[in-house]
Chains A and B, each alone.
Chain A
């Protein structure tokens, strides 16, 4: 049985198509290890057959397999074998042989336990101590433990990306990192797609510089494209030729069987009222939970997690509001001890159900789970498979997943997602590159550890996949920033973070505080800026809102939070005081800053399905024929097929079905506002770009602010006067898009917010300094001031440039948006403008659920003048000057 499918794309990164034989592995195993292995397992698993020999012969390798597929033991078997062998031969040295990195402290503790147990068992078999040391080093490690590690280094060091970067800058610890044989990156899929991974990629190059012969092992859940992940794992061997280090890819992603279904709680999603819908959903969830032993429910937000638990307890007190806890929440906002309690209750089988947002996606040991329920679309095929893979933990068990959908868009999306999952079409992730903020932080760390020539530094940086095409000018700008060159000479000593001698090209440490600053401010995960919402007078917390949402609130504004309405009273620092039980409708739309975006690939699949559906209707196919098509194409049940059919039929009859080759632009007016809804099924990351560019094109001619609303399925533009939306889209040229968007983004909240994150990563804003921890809110205020000041230094200041790049490439998807525009230019995607009296069925969610923003075209001074005019009109000009 060979699972690996695609052929190698040539050269140094190659798929391993054929596994090794059990005999080959048996041939290298120390008798003791062999004895231990077969005392625990019947045979080698497929990932082991693929991986163990590679690791033994020091070849870089990426293993992609689902959770519970024995990935970790695959990575560690050769290593344990080597260590046991050395110990028996009396040649075990006091050095670190293996560095294991995972994104989670909880996972590190699991791994440590899972290594210490086999070692004890092997020692028992050997009848003596082997002296193999395993140690965990994270932010929680005590000073005593750290100094113990320094005196006697562990043979296997288990750590996080952040702690790895710290030990790499510790001049004493570095002595133990000189001959590392292996570095394992676990859950690499969760790192590669964000700046933690970018940061780690540079740490790996730093480690490789200390241990040139080090082998890299990557372990990943389901993800695509594996070739890129492999390149990310190994980096570049020779910066001159750009040749990657060798790496074998073992693709055993689909080794586990999956039983997947999309279910809708009611037969017809359109007729059901909100209340009956909610009722039916919880009844459905309850019966699924009761039919299984342990159920894991994923929601897309933390607040939804709490909501689900509360509703289940209210509706089914006998099942969930019992003396003995049967249900619990697990998400990032909960305390460590709470989460740990839930994890151990899961492991001991005490819980019937756990509701989580994202925190249980990764491979922490949660014991036996036989059902995963996804509430609402997980927005990407890979994420769906990763989440569902948490059930049936062992390799030979089937993963059972049920996706519960709540509306018709959700139904179509999840049905197409299910099809992709079954047909093994995994959406591709985006890997951030050339991140100047992370680079600044790492150069600072490198300079603390050692003096280094900037040319050596530049080639080390460029060895990372994430920086392989970094320009020298950008690199130099980061050095200049760190050296304080943007500040006049007299004050430079306060701003300079590194010592940089331009005549010799050497950089190094500056100031005695550098090391402390580095250790206390390291990392790439931004602090969140939330404002706590409390009921006036009671101090009762009802939830959290985004800080920029607070900026928009005015006294007596009514807004929705967690399904309930509140009236805003006043703010005090980072707390908003509100009144509950409000009768008036909301006066301001809710604003969720950053939701999971629908992947471009999945969006395109939905677009394709829409096209096939339109063809059926255009060819006057009968209801039965179309239902049959839906059933066979999407693997859904009869109810769902019926809902999908009527949804498309309504859209077809009322307006026009948009799809991957046709953007429908629907115009209507409401309350003297003119709306143009663009049905562009490309996912939020692309629509964010397109909508802002269109709004920019419109506002440039009007010199006024234009409102945009963005969703995964499309976007709308709203303005007080009629405008030509189609012409605006036609005007956009793909090659001009980067400039247009840079200009369009300059005064947005999102740029300001991301700039704060970047400034913190680049250590321009320190979270901790001289024992002083900054409140996030203060950071936000400061960053607003900071961004203004930095603009005055240079509009292309490296950290500001990085904030723009992050918004355009990581948060949004500029390349894909440009590609869409090119297809429009080439006529491969058509535009169709229609007028409707009211939003069409497909347009409803775009208008209702959009995340709104304004394109600020109007100058601050002009805005003030106009607001003044409005006030004068309101108060009858009596205050006129």
Chain B
């Protein structure tokens, strides 16, 4: 798999975005603790997500290492919804989030946690590693925000590019009676800015079908037909615009 540059200096690296100049990796919507949350609702799902998350990240790191001069990343930005449960911190979340932060710190000088709508109680876990959870972050005109609400900051207004997650975009491809859903990035515009919507890094679910669902996120409540679609499979597949797929 190769890095695919979709905007100057911004490349898709599997389910992550790599900011080349800044040497920063962005991932989002990991939703650790998903299995325990399901268990609390009466669905007894065996636990594989953490293991799969680590091996997926390892794959991305080895992919990046081919490109990197220095061995460590400057930063990994986790763009919201690192944890899944809104109201509480489950045992699985304590364990796995700390383990994941430690793992990321092994490959990156710092870990930046951007707050997502599920991250109401992320701060107490982050504090254990001396990390402050931020609302959003601007990186050289690229504004990284979870995307469940419109940020009210100067930096945001000034920025030309906005990178969001939250809605877990995925695309269904159909032929005859067969239909399959794939995680995808979509690239379009929001009020004059370029906007990239990232797929979820969650290893259990695929996502929400952009071909038929209506979205709630203020960034996604618009006509998506002109958005470009990048499907993540064994490599990145450029599918043209949403309307070309329908």
Inter-subunit contact B42/A861 (CB<8 Å): no
Inter-subunit contact B179/A782 (CB<8 Å): no
Inter-subunit contact A554/B177 (CB<8 Å): no
Please give the distance in Å from A444's CB to the nearest CB on chain B. Answer: 13
Q: Tell me the bound Cα distance from A571 to B209 in angstroms.
A: 9
Which of A786, A866, A868 is in CB contact (< 8 Å) with B43?
Answer: A786
Inter-subunit contact A868/B237 (CB<8 Å): yes
Inter-subunit contact A790/B176 (CB<8 Å): no
Please give the distance in Å from A281's CB to the nearest CB on chain B. Answer: 32
Interface string of B23-44 (1 = CB under 8 A from A): 0000000000000101111111
Inter-subunit contact A553/B233 (CB<8 Å): no
Inter-subunit contact B42/A774 (CB<8 Å): yes
Instruction: Tell me the A446-499 residues at the B interface (CB within 8 Å).
Output: 486-487, 491, 494-495
Interface of B is mostly: mixed
Inter-subunit contact B246/A555 (CB<8 Å): yes
Q: Tell me the bound Cα distance from A764 to B35 in angstroms.
A: 13
Instruction: Tell me the B204-234 residues at the A interface (CB within 8 Å).
Output: 204-205, 209, 211-214, 228, 231, 233-234
Which of A551, A766, A854 is in CB contact (< 8 Å) with B42?
Answer: A766
Most chain B CB within 10 A, of A554, A568, A765, is at A554
Inter-subunit contact A874/B244 (CB<8 Å): yes
Inter-subunit contact A785/B204 (CB<8 Å): yes
Is A629 engaged at the interface, CB distance under 8 Å to the other chain?
no
Inter-subunit contact A572/B213 (CB<8 Å): yes
Most chain A CB within 10 A, of B42, B176, B205, B246, is at B42
Is A880 engaged at the interface, CB distance under 8 Å to the other chain?
yes
Please give the distance in Å from B215's CB to the nearest CB on chain A. Answer: 10
Q: Tell me the bound Cα distance from A778 to B38 in angstroms.
A: 10
Inter-subunit contact A871/B4 (CB<8 Å): no
Q: Tell me the bound Cα distance from A785 to B174 in angstroms.
A: 21
Please give the distance in Å from A385's CB to the nearest CB on chain B. Answer: 37
Inter-subunit contact A864/B182 (CB<8 Å): yes
Inter-subunit contact B233/A782 (CB<8 Å): no
Q: Tell me the bound Cα distance from A836 to B44 in angstroms.
A: 53
Inter-subunit contact B46/A864 (CB<8 Å): no
Inter-subunit contact A772/B176 (CB<8 Å): no
Please give the distance in Å from A164's CB to the nearest CB on chain B. Answer: 24
Inter-subunit contact B178/A856 (CB<8 Å): yes
Is A792 engaged at the interface, CB distance under 8 Å to the other chain?
yes
Which of A553, A853, A854, A879 is in CB contact (< 8 Å) with B239?
Answer: A879
Is A313 engaged at the interface, CB distance under 8 Å to the other chain?
no
Inter-subunit contact B41/A854 (CB<8 Å): no
Interface of A is mostly: mixed
Inter-subunit contact A868/B174 (CB<8 Å): no
Inter-subunit contact A782/B38 (CB<8 Å): yes
Interface string of B176-216 (1 = CB under 8 A from A): 11111010000000000000000000001100010111100
Instruction: Tell me the A351-379 residues at the B interface (CB within 8 Å).
Output: none
**What are the residues of chain B within 8 A of A128 when measuring CB–CB?**
none
Number of interface residues, chain A, beta carbon within 8 A: 57
Is B236 engaged at the interface, CB distance under 8 Å to the other chain?
yes
Q: Tell me the bound Cα distance from A436 to B240 in angstroms.
A: 48
Inter-subunit contact B47/A792 (CB<8 Å): no
Q: Tell me the bound Cα distance from A646 to B209 in angstroms.
A: 50
Task: Given A556-B246, A871-B244, A880-B238, verify A854-B45 contact (CB < 8 Å).
Answer: no
Is A633 engaged at the interface, CB distance under 8 Å to the other chain?
no
Inter-subunit contact B177/A853 (CB<8 Å): yes
Interface string of A767-786 (1 = CB under 8 A from B): 11110101000110110011
Please give the distance in Å from A518's CB to the nearest CB on chain B. Answer: 13
Inter-subunit contact B212/A553 (CB<8 Å): yes
Q: Tell me the bound Cα distance from A702 to B211 in angstroms.
A: 30
Is B173 engaged at the interface, CB distance under 8 Å to the other chain?
yes
Most chain A CB within 10 A, of B39, B45, B239, is at B45
Please give the distance in Å from A788's CB to the nearest CB on chain B. Answer: 8
Interface string of A850-861 (1 = CB under 8 A from B): 001110100011
Instruction: Tell me the A490-511 residues at the B interface (CB within 8 Å).
Output: 491, 494-495
Q: Tell me the bound Cα distance from A856 to B176 in angstroms.
A: 12
Is A705 engaged at the interface, CB distance under 8 Å to the other chain?
yes
Inter-subunit contact A772/B240 (CB<8 Å): no
Inter-subunit contact A554/B239 (CB<8 Å): no
Which of A856, A861, A864 is in CB contact (< 8 Å) with B173?
Answer: A864
**What are the residues of chain B within 8 A of A870 when measuring CB–CB?**
175
Is B245 engaged at the interface, CB distance under 8 Å to the other chain?
yes
Inter-subunit contact A554/B174 (CB<8 Å): yes
Q: Tell me the bound Cα distance from A570 to B178 in angstroms.
A: 19
Please give the distance in Å from B36's CB to the nearest CB on chain A. Answer: 8
Inter-subunit contact A570/B41 (CB<8 Å): no
Q: Tell me the bound Cα distance from A766 to B43 in angstroms.
A: 6
Inter-subunit contact A767/B233 (CB<8 Å): no
Residue in chain B with minimal CB distance to A556: B246
- Apart from A853-B177, A868-B237, A871-B244, what 16 extra A-B contacts exist at CB < 8 Å? A553-B212, A571-B212, A572-B214, A705-B175, A766-B42, A769-B41, A774-B43, A778-B41, A789-B45, A789-B48, A793-B46, A861-B233, A864-B173, A864-B180, A879-B228, A879-B238
Contact sample, A vs B, 18 pairs, CB 8 Å cutoff: A487-B47, A495-B44, A556-B246, A568-B212, A570-B214, A571-B212, A764-B43, A768-B42, A782-B43, A789-B48, A790-B46, A863-B178, A863-B180, A864-B237, A865-B233, A870-B175, A878-B240, A881-B236
